[in-house]
Amino acid sequence: MANSDLKLLGRWSSPYVMRVKIALNIKSLDYENFHETLNPKSDLLLQSNPIYKKIPVLIHGDKPICESLIIVEYIDEVWSSAPSILPSDPYDRSIARFWAAYIDDKWFPSMKGIFIVEEQESKKQYIKQLEEVVVNMEDTYLNISEGKDFFGGDRIGYLDIAFGCFLGWMSVVEELIGLKLIEEAKSPALAKWAERFAADAAVEGLIPETDKLLELSKVLQLKWRALAK
């Protein structure tokens, strides 16, 4: 479905931008991709998201939409005739939103903490937090998937997008800490889900290569540590 009116401001490495790309792929929407260097930030980004000045931003016509999960919901509502992303049942939607908010509250801050802190004891605290998220998401998957391939059922849905976008960066963290976070022995359902998610047509080619993210992580680590001082 051609949509020359859609523009996406983002970066290849951003898991939050990846969320939007997956949603656009699910809806078979064409869009113009604007790569942001963020140093300096483009005028278009500053004009489109003057409050947070962050990616991703989806511009539909002349209207900017900000924040990844808000954008995903916008895409689902505007192009409602295509495969649904959010559950149709109001209660199921509330559950999906709850766990998506939980992921944003716990997962990325813990990963970022591992990059920033240098003391091993502090790193262990963040690793423990990540392991707790995996345990909770394993239980959540078993509770809401009803034995189907994804959190959202037979197809990738809202919660799959919210969590699955971090799989690339999770591989980087695993390299740094020497520990597998999602492994079949401890979280068998989630391990199989991760494989299916990465292989899905809407996701294929979007998860960045671990080696490239590792190189980028060295730059980000220096930046984040300097900001934390």
For 162-198, the pLDDT digits (tens) are 999 999 999 999 999 999 999 999 999 999 999 999 9
Distance between CA 229 and CA 215 in Å, rounded? Answer: 23
Distance between CA 59 and CA 162 in Å, rounded? Answer: 20
- Residue 10 pairs in a beta bridge with 35
pLDDT-above-90 percentage for the chain: 87
Q: What is the pLDDT of residue 122?
A: 87
- Residue 6 pairs in a beta bridge with 60
**Interval 106-127: pLDDT, tens:** 999 999 999 899 888 889 999 9
pLDDT band at 1 (very low <50, low <70, confident <90, very high): very low
Mean pLDDT of 80-99: 95
Total residues found in the chain within this entry:
229
Q: What is the pLDDT of residue 37?
A: 86
74 pLDDT higher than 80: yes
To the question of pTM greater than 0.75 for the whole model, the response is yes
208 secondary structure, DSSP code: P
Average pLDDT of the chain?
Answer: 94
Residue carrying structure tokens 């889900």: 193
β-strands 6-10, 32-35 pairing: parallel
